């Protein structure tokens, strides 16, 4: 996806024309399908529809050439199948030409569908399609493993399950990548076999009937609760967590309209799901249609919207947000949005704020890259998106980029860095010496927009070229998919010219080498991070309670690429049991710090912090407010996960020194040193009482807040200060992920250092010798005084 990636995906022709039943099930602004004669029925009926790509592009020329050979001058049958010789809409939307190059046998509404993309997009992009089936957007292996881990269902870090059965049959060596990249990845796979499976099985089936949830004769209460908890974890996973994979169309609603497979990314859908193009046969009032019938992808793939006159290129982050609005929430965070439980500020008429992605939002602050016009694909490579033919167990495994790949460090330009810089624990197979530049692009990167290399393409930490980031003299230029060219700030240049924007920035990056060696850049430069503490999940198996099973819905697919849930007006396969989520509280400021799988200090935010309650078929409470226990970092801890994250909320001005060094929360000790929420393991009653004895006055006093057994600390507390014991799980994917080590916490903490000077303020004679400036000192004056004291002390020590 980086500028020159395989945009593919003819597939994307996707949401294209209407599926007949979908277009006709509601009255609106459309011209009913008509009968035509003389063949070439696609272009005659769909007069005014947008060309899927620029007619002058090589891609469109190839499509048209193939189409003409099958009696279709527009090339529609290449992607959609159908019968261009038929005169009626009903007959034209059946079957496919016998000579179809991809062996399609049915008319397809969405050629990008995961289930037929090898027959459509794969005509030209076979390797992309093959890789995509093993990539995380298809398997969601990391999400599944992480959630089951926090339920205690799968207490190890071994990745076992995916949405559908899949094998990596071509060995450890990736299908895509330079020689150096492949060597790097093979070494990484050898070190972490649990995170790089060779085979994934479909997530186990949910309970089939009440009998699966009923206590068996002779079964102990503990065994019964464990068995039902296992079923509940699967029920929750299949209904609430798996709707975003590309094998299904997903939750159809405001902000979530999208295609399947290749079309999920490469076909533009507005948040309202309304068609605004020129095809008269597509209903313009019916929600659920693509915005226009054009592919979005690289800079050259222009999308023209007739209704507004806007032309854009690249894949807007809001397309990504149709999926990336849950979990780590990096998509909406990138745009500055954080979900909130409130409907304010109100809309005209006093109405509530509309929901997008099923949520209401507060605007905090967007990532500086977004503000500069950068899409996700401007940083993330084709391998980050499509995969490289390897089965990955988490995003940290599949994503090949680091901040330093473009910005370098204060001592080295990007091309002077060694491969693997920024991936401390992963760099076993990195080539020695400077990584250098590349003058040419591999074959898989030459099907999209290709930019001139200038002095050379920059390389990722793992050794692949960035197709859109080039060195030009003493500058680094990034070519954005949106059409802009930006100059990248280089840290070494700031060092050489002493051009830091602030003294704090110079000290943090230039004078404290440990910051550069041991921290992710975004540990300091993430302005904020969404922190959704406590995920209280109720799984209710009472008779009649059901919810969509997204994996079963995707597994039920047809020759036309549709699934049981993809057509407008359909809901998909149901499973027994209904899951419901709620939270404890939300925060956005100053995230906690921990260690990620690469062994570097990183922000950590609440991941799957499941506290579960299960209601049995008879309405009885099987389990109430329970948290699983797992082994992490050599200790048995609560499975409520704190997840290492790149928040995607980058700002120029980093978080302050005090926000880490004088902040117990940042160190993992909890908000204000964990002094709040210490009694969550006790039932709380609220009523009139004798305060002398604590006895309640009313016999009708009831429990206001029910206890969470074992939860006698704040959700934001990761480590107990007194004992040094890690309290909760930190990262469920990689062995190196953990809370900050004790020596790091001790070295970092500077809480209370102000007392060293200010306890002497009442000693006027002493104070006047140190501070000869009348009044209260400003920050700058404080720094000057401390600087003088430091030098005076050093001078005195030399005598």
pLDDT at 9 over 60: no
CA–CA gap between residue 649 and residue 369 (Å, rounded): 9
Residue 751 confidence (pLDDT): 77
pLDDT at 8: 32
Could you tell me the pLDDT band of residue 769, with boundaries at 50, 70 and 90? confident
Q: How far apart are CA 395 and CA 542, in angstroms?
A: 37
Q: Running DSSP on this structure, what letter comes out for residue 238?
A: I
Q: Is the pLDDT of residue 200 over 80?
A: yes
Instruction: Report cis status (omega within 30 of 0) of the bond before 105.
Output: no
359 pLDDT tier (thresholds 50, 70, 90): very high
What pLDDT, on the 0 to 100 scale, is given for residue 32?
A: 76
Query: In 138-223, which ranges are E strands?
Result: 161-162, 166-167, 199-202
742, containing H or E segment: helix 742-748
Q: Return the pLDDT at 779.
A: 77
The pLDDT score that the predictor gives to residue 634 is: 87
Q: Report the candidate in 742, 739, 741, 736 with the shortest Cα–Cα distance to residue 727.
A: 739
Name the residue among 113, 114, 108, 88 with its Cα closest to residue 96.
108
Beta-carbon count within 10 A of 117 CB: 32
Structure tokens at 198: 């060779």
Place of tokens 């060597």: 183
Average of pLDDT values for 209-219? 94
Separation of alpha carbons 332 and 345, rounded Å: 19
* pLDDT greater than 80 at residue 771: no
Q: Which two tokens stand for residue 64?
A: 């048209």
Distance between CA atoms of 729 and 147, rounded to whole angstroms? 12
| Residue 238 vs residues 148, 234, 477, 642: alpha-carbon distances, Å | 11, 6, 44, 22
Task: Find out whether 95 and 83 touch, Cβ atoms under 8 Å.
Answer: yes
Cβ contact 668:744 at 8 Å: no
Report the relative pairing of strands 578-587 and 531-540 from DSSP bridges: antiparallel
CA distances from 520 to 73, 168, 369, 511, 526 (A): 54, 31, 17, 16, 10
Q: What's the Cα-to-Cα distance from 8 to each of 269, 375, 511, 795, rounded to whole Å?
A: 17, 17, 46, 67
pLDDT in tens, 422-450: 999 999 999 999 999 999 999 999 988 99
The owner of tokens 């809901």 is 571
From the centroid of its chain, how far is CA 435? 28
Q: Label each residue of 380-445 as H, E or C.
A: CCHHHHHCCCCCCCCHHHHCCCCCHHHHCCCCCCHHHCECCCCCCCCHHHCCCCECCCECCCCHHH
Q: How far apart are CA 33 and CA 47, in angstroms?
A: 11
What is the per-residue pLDDT for 454? 97
Q: Supply the pLDDT for residue 140.
A: 97
Q: In this structure, what token pair is assigned to residue 632?
A: 């992490």
CB of 184 closer than 8 Å to CB of 459: no
Q: In this structure, what DSSP letter does residue 19 have?
A: P
What tens digit of pLDDT does each residue of 270-281 get? 999 999 999 999
Where do the H-state alpha helices sit in 201-354? 221-236, 263-266, 317-320, 330-334
The 10s digit of each residue's pLDDT in 473-485 is 999 999 999 999 9
Q: Residue 338 in 3-state DSSP?
A: strand
Residue 673 and residue 664: Cα distance in Å, rounded?
5
Q: 14, 547, 8, 580: which is closest to 249 by C-alpha?
A: 14
pLDDT tens readout for residues 487-543? 999 999 999 999 998 888 888 999 899 899 999 999 999 999 999 999 999 999 999
Identify any residues that bridge with 632 across adjacent strands, giving them in sequence order: 635
CA distance 715 to 615: 25
Q: First vs last Cα of the chain: how many Å apart? A: 63
Whole-angstrom distance, CA of residue 571 vs CA of residue 549: 10
- Rounded Cα distance between 477 and 453, Å, is 10
In the 8-state DSSP scheme, what is residue 314?
Answer: S
Hey, is 70 helix, strand or coil? coil
Query: For 433-483, what is the HEC assignment?
Result: CECCCECCCCHHHCCCCCCCCCCEEEECCCCCEEEEEEEECCEEEEECCCC
What are the backbone dihedrals phi and psi of residue 142, each rounded to the nearest 5 degrees, phi first? Answer: -65, -40
Contact 649, 526 (CB under 8 A): yes
The DSSP string of 96-147 is --TT-TT---S--S-TT-TTTGGGTTHHHHHHHHHHHTTSHHHH-HHHHHHH
When pLDDT is cut at 50, 70 and 90, the band that residue 7 belongs to is very low
- Average predicted confidence (pLDDT) for the chain: 92
Measured CA to CA, the distance from residue 704 to residue 689 in angstroms comes to: 14
Name every residue whose Cβ is closer than 8 Å to that of residue 262 and which is 6 or more positions away in sequence: 8, 9, 11, 12, 14, 111, 112, 117, 121, 129, 132, 246
Predicted local confidence at residue 799, as pLDDT: 53
Tell me which residue has tokens 């990761």.
718
Query: Considering only 82-91, 118-127, 293-302, 499-508, which range has the smallest mean pLDDT?
Result: 499-508
Q: Per-residue pLDDT averaged across 40-51, rounded?
A: 94
Helix (H, G, I), strand (E, B) or coil at 39: coil
Buried residues in 97-108 as b, exposed as e (16+ CB within 10 A): beebebebebbb
**For the chain, what percent of residues have pLDDT higher than 90?**
86
Instruction: Provide the pLDDT for residue 21.
Output: 36
Residue 648 has pLDDT above 80, yes or no: yes
pLDDT tens readout for residues 550-604 = 999 999 999 999 999 999 999 999 999 999 999 999 999 999 999 999 999 999 9
Cα dihedral 580, 581, 584, 590 in deg (nearest 10): -170
Query: In terms of Cα–Cα distance, which of 417, 412, 422 is closest to 432?
Result: 417
Question: What's the mean pLDDT in 86-113?
Answer: 96
DSSP string covering 505-559, please? HHIIIII-HHHHHHB-HHHHHB----EEEEEEEEEE-STT-EEE-HHHHHHSB-T
Q: Within 13 A of 406's CA, how many CA atoms are on the CB side? A: 23
Sign of CA dihedral 111, 114, 116, 118: positive
Instruction: Give the separation between CA 272 and CA 667, rounded to whole angstroms.
Output: 43
Distance in angstroms (rounded) separating the CA atoms of residues 617 and 764 = 75
> With 50 as the cut, is the pLDDT of residue 13 above it?
no
Q: How many helices (H) and strands (E) does the chain have?
A: 28, 25
In contact, 347 and 406? CB cutoff 8 Å: no
pLDDT digits (tens, 9 = 90+) for 777-799: 777 877 787 888 788 778 887 65
Residue with tokens 């006895």: 695
């Amino acid at each position: 996806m980086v500028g020159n990636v395989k945009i593919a995906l003819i597939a994307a022709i996707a949401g294209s024309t209407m599926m007949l039943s979908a277009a006709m099930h509601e009255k609106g602004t459309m011209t009913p399908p008509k009968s035509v004669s003389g063949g070439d029925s696609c272009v005659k009926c769909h007069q005014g529809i947008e060309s899927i790509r620029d007619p002058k592009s090589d891609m469109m020329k190839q499509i048209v050439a193939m189409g003409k050979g099958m009696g279709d001058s527009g090339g529609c049958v290449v992607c959609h199948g159908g019968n261009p010789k038929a005169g009626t809409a009903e007959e034209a939307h059946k079957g496919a030409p016998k000579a179809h190059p991809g062996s399609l046998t049915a008319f397809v509404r969405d050629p990008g569908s995961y289930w037929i993309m090898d027959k459509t997009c794969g005509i030209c992009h076979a390797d992309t399609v093959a890789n995509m089936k093993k990539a995380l957007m298809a398997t969601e292996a990391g999400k599944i493993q992480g959630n089951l881990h926090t339920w205690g269902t799968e207490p190890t870090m071994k990745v076992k399950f995916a949405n559908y059965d899949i094998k990596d049959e071509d060995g450890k060596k990736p299908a895509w990548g330079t020689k150096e990249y492949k060597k790097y990845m093979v070494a990484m796979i050898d070190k972490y076999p649990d995170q790089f499976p060779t085979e994934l099985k479909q997530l186990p089936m949910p309970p089939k009937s009440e009998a699966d949830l009923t206590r068996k004769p002779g079964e102990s209460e503990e065994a019964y609760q464990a068995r039902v908890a296992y079923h509940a974890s699967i029920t929750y996973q299949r209904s609430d967590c798996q709707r975003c994979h590309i094998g299904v169309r997903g939750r159809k609603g405001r902000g979530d309209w999208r295609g399947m497979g290749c079309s999920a990314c490469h076909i533009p859908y507005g948040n309202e799901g309304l068609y605004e193009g020129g095809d008269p046969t597509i209903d313009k009032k019916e929600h659920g249609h693509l915005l226009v019938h054009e592919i979005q992808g690289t800079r050259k793939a222009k999308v023209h919207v007739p209704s507004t006159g806007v032309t854009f290129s690249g894949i807007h982050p809001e397309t990504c947000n149709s999926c990336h609005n849950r979990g780590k929430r990096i998509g909406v965070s990138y745009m500055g949005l954080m979900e909130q439980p409130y409907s304010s500020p109100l809309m005209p008429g006093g109405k509530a704020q509309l929901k997008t992605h099923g949520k209401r939002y507060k605007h905090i602050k967007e990532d500086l890259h977004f503000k500069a016009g950068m899409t996700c694909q401007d940083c993330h490579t084709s391998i980050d998106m499509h995969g490289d033919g390897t089965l990955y167990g988490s995003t940290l495994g599949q994503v090949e980029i680091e901040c330093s790949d473009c910005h370098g460090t204060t001592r080295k330009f990007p091309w002077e860095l060694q491969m693997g810089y920024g991936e401390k624990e992963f760099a076993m197979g990195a080539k020695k010496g400077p990584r250098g530049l590349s003058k040419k692009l591999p074959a898989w990167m030459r099907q999209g927009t290709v930019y001139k290399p200038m002095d050379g393409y920059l390389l990722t930490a793992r050794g692949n070229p960035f197709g859109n980031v080039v060195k030009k003299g003493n500058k680094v230029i990034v070519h954005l998919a949106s059409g802009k060219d930006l100059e990248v700030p280089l840290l070494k240049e700031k060092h050489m010219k002493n051009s830091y924007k602030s003294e704090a920035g110079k000290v943090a990056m230039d004078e404290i080498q440990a910051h550069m060696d041991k921290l992710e850049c975004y540990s300091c430069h993430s302005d904020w991070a969404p922190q959704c503490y406590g995920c209280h999940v109720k799984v209710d198996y009472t008779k009649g309670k059901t919810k969509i099973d997204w994996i079963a819905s995707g597994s039920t697919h047809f020759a036309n690429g549709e699934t049981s849930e993809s057509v407008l007006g359909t809901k998909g396969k149901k499973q027994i049991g209904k899951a419901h989520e709620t939270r404890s509280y939300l925060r956005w400021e100053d995230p906690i710090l921990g260690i990620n799988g690469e062994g570097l200090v990183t922000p950590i935010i609440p991941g799957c912090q499941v506290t579960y309650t299960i209601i049995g078929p008879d309405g009885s409470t099987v389990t109430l407010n329970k948290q699983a226990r797992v082994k992490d970092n050599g200790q048995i801890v609560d499975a409520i996960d704190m997840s290492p994250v790149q928040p995607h909320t980058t700002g120029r001005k980093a978080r302050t020194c005090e926000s880490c060094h004088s902040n117990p929360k940042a160190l993992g000790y909890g908000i204000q040193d964990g002094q709040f929420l210490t009694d969550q393991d006790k039932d709380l009653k609220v009523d009139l009482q004798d305060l002398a004895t604590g006895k309640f006055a009313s016999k009708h006093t009831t429990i206001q807040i029910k206890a969470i057994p074992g939860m006698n600390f704040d959700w934001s507390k990761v480590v107990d200060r007194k004992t040094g014991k890690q309290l909760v799980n930190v990262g469920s994917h990689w062995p190196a992920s953990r809370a900050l080590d004790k020596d790091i916490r001790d070295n970092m903490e500077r809480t209370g250092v102000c007392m060293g000077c200010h306890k002497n303020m009442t000693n006027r004679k002493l104070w006047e010798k140190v501070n000869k400036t009348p009044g209260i000192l400003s920050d700058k004056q404080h720094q000057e005084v401390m600087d003088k004291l430091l030098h005076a002390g050093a001078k005195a020590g030399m005598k």
